[in-house]
A and B are shown apart, each in its own frame.
Chain A
Amino acid sequence: MTASGSLLLERFPFPHVLDNTMYELWKTCPHKFFRSTVQGLKAAQRDPNTGALLTVKNIHLHFGGALARGLEVTRKTYLAEGNQGDAIQDGAAALLAFWGSEPLPPPTTRNEENKTLEACLLAHDEYFRAFPLDDPQHHIPSPDHVEVSGTAPIPGVVHPFTGEPILYAGRFDAITSRFGVLRGLDDKTTSDNVDSDRWRSKWTLAGQFTGYTWLAQQYGFPIEGFLVHGVQILKASLKFGEAITPRTPFHVNTWLAQLCFDVQMMLRQYGAFIQSVEDDNGEWTDPPHPFAQRLGDACFHYMRKCSFLDDVCDTPRPADFIPNAFVVERWNPLARSIDE
């Protein structure tokens, strides 16, 4: 490989590990996957005092992360010590520590307005009234069944530089045993109505849970699907709901075959990209981009504008804008959360 070729691979490395977030990104818009995962770009704003480019915290992710941390510590403490009140107290302390002291950006939507630290503390407390720790319906066998994570090689695909298998990684909240039936458990904060069929049916074929089921089975946990616990955050109230979403061998085999096919497609796109820019200083200029731009609904997804819309896709020379609007910060699915 030439020196310029190897620099190119350093600037645009193909990930060694994929997870559901990256896979969903690719399905939504391959170009967004390329910009955020291969190129590693993360939207940033200039600090008016120092001039440094800083990434902006996402209120939804921060709220969800803090709540997840509180729930995790509560479950682990309860399973180790057996006292629900003390466990909830320890979980709340962990939630506060996760929330930290740095201010969040001002909310821009009503949903963001609802996601305050007070609402997070209440959600954490009331979660265990809706799903009590000592209720056999929500039994978690041991602390090892909380925050379950793992990786497995994706069959039939190898990394283009190393020749090693590309791994699929996943992490979910717990494994529960409801009267002997083992299922994964994932908590979801949402603004959707968690009492509705609409919310429950969202998970029927969700690849996220099929992928976790496959991973858990690789580790010897014979789970039969997932319980999804919905936490609906409203301005003046909270609602809790549960969806049960089974996974059969049919679901797992279909998902896995699709994953293998899609990762091979990603690798073809990656190969075509590297080839097309190798003699052009790493800058892509001639459309179409090998990682296709969806140019449609994906540009405005989850009620918000894609972070690559203005400075990347809506300009003929993205390279002129990227250094002033993004930092390079790659997501590593194997890294633990920031507080550990």
Chain B
Amino acid sequence: MTDLDLSNDLDRQIELQDLRTLVLSGKALPPERFRQLLNAIREGRDNAQRLASASKKSAKKTLAAKTPIDLSTLF
């Protein structure tokens, strides 16, 4: 089977659960499905990393865009 769509978390979890059940029932791990699952996990992780770093950059930009406080007005 090579055409599974594992592009979202839920599909990936279901596939992982299926493969776990196979192994726990004493059957062999299907190489192609397992490789596809690993790639999907890796892709999901990389996307999460990209999102996290994009949101960090955007937070930095927002902070830099704020007007600096004129300290003389505080005293």
Chain A residues packing against B (C-beta within 8 Å): 89, 92-93, 96-97, 99-101, 117-118, 121-122, 125, 235-237
Contact = CB atoms under 8 A, between A and B. Distances in A.
16 contacts: A92-B34, A93-B28, A96-B24, A97-B24, A100-B24, A101-B20, A117-B16, A118-B12, A121-B37, A122-B42, A122-B45, A125-B38, A236-B46, A236-B48, A236-B49, A237-B49
Given A122-B38, A236-B52, A97 B45 contact: no
A97 B12 CA distance: 18
B14 interface: no
Given A89-B34, A97-B23, A117-B16, A235 B48 contact: yes
Question: Binding site of A, secondary structure by majority: helix, strand, loop or mixed?
Answer: helix
- Closest 5 pairs between A and B when the two form their complex, measured CB to CB: A236-B49, A93-B29, A96-B23, A236-B48, A118-B41
Nearest to A125: B38
A117 B20 CA distance: 10
Contacts of A237: 45, 49
Interface string B31-63: 100100110011011101100100000000000
Nearest to B38: A125
A101 to B, nearest CB: 6
B20 A96 contact: yes
Nearest to A93: B29
Interface of B: 12, 16, 19-21, 23-24, 28-29, 31, 34, 37-38, 41-42, 44-46, 48-49, 52
A121 B31 contact: no
B41 A96 contact: no
A98 to B, nearest CB: 10
Nearest to A117: B16
Contacts of A235: 48, 52
Contacts of B28: 93
Nearest to B20: A96
Given A93-B29, A96-B19, A101 B48 contact: no
A215 to B, nearest CB: 34
Contacts of A122: 38, 41-42, 45
Given A100-B24, A117-B16, A236 B45 contact: yes
B53 to A, nearest CB: 9
A4 to B, nearest CB: 48
Given A96-B29, A100-B24, A236-B49, 4 more contacts: A96-B20, A96-B23, A121-B38, A122-B45
Contacts of B38: 121-122, 125
Contacts of B21: 101
Given A117-B16, A236-B48, A237-B49, A101 B41 contact: no
A99 B20 contact: yes
Nearest to A238: B45
A100 B48 CA distance: 27
B29 to A, nearest CB: 4
Contacts of B20: 96, 99, 101, 117
A125 B28 CA distance: 18
Contacts of A96: 19-20, 23-24, 29
A92 B48 contact: no
